[in-house]
Amino acid sequence: MPQPSVLAALAAGLHSGAIEVVDLTSPLSSSTPVIQLPPEFGQTAVFELEEISRYDDRGPAWYWNNFRSGEHTGTHFDAPVHWVTGKDRADVASVPARRLIAPAAVLDFSAAAAKDPDFLVEVDHIKAWEADNGPLPDGGWMLVRTGWDARSHSQEAFVNADENGPHTPGLSPDCARWVAQESPVIGLGVETVGTDAGRAHAFDPAFPCHSYLMGSDKYGLTQLQNLAALPPTGAVVVAGPLPIVTGSGAPARVLALVER
């Protein structure tokens, strides 16, 4: 008997449940939290639906909507052109499709973030994880679990801002540079509203994850959920942003394939 093909084995695993599909996407609605910039800057739009027809005189047999949304609203994909350091690089429609399916490493810092919402991942944290789990995947994603998805029901809790600005976990500037310039991954995924920590506006450089990642032709995935359901290694991420021509990013349905 010939051996089954790789794709046939994958299909069989999905059908049998041996491969679980974990949805890492935050549902998109008018209550989805959005980033808040200082008032002098332009602001991203809250997601809105506009009904076109719903089995009525506007369309008796069909229901559909128009929608309005920022590119970076909800679970979304950051393309290199999103930041000034990547202004001459790819828009979201130009990201090669083969890079949208890649292995993932999941680094769990939820306990540290629960104690300190301003917790920053350092290079030494990643090195310690690699000592226990092996190297970060070449051409894969580094997903940072902080438990922040538990706050996604509330704009206030998710942004977690006070008079000094937002307080959310992220990467230190040196760690962001290392991930972008020295690590083998193609991008960073987080549970927070953006890839940078809440205090990153005051870092040097400001917003280092955006600055270093986009400038290095790497990507970001934000507002992920259910990272707790993934193993430290072995999952495969399927990231499907809308291919918006000239777009700096797009809402995305992000799935993980996990062998059980």
Q: Which residues does the annotation mark as catalytic?
A: 82
- CA–CA dist 160, 164 (Å, integer): 11
- Gyration radius (Cα) of the chain, Å: 19
- CA–CA dist 210, 165 (Å, integer): 18
- In this structure, the number of other CB atoms found within 10 A of the CB of residue 179 comes to 27
Greatest alpha-carbon span in the chain:
69
Is 45 in contact with 36 (CB distance < 8 Å)? no
Residue 256, SS3? strand
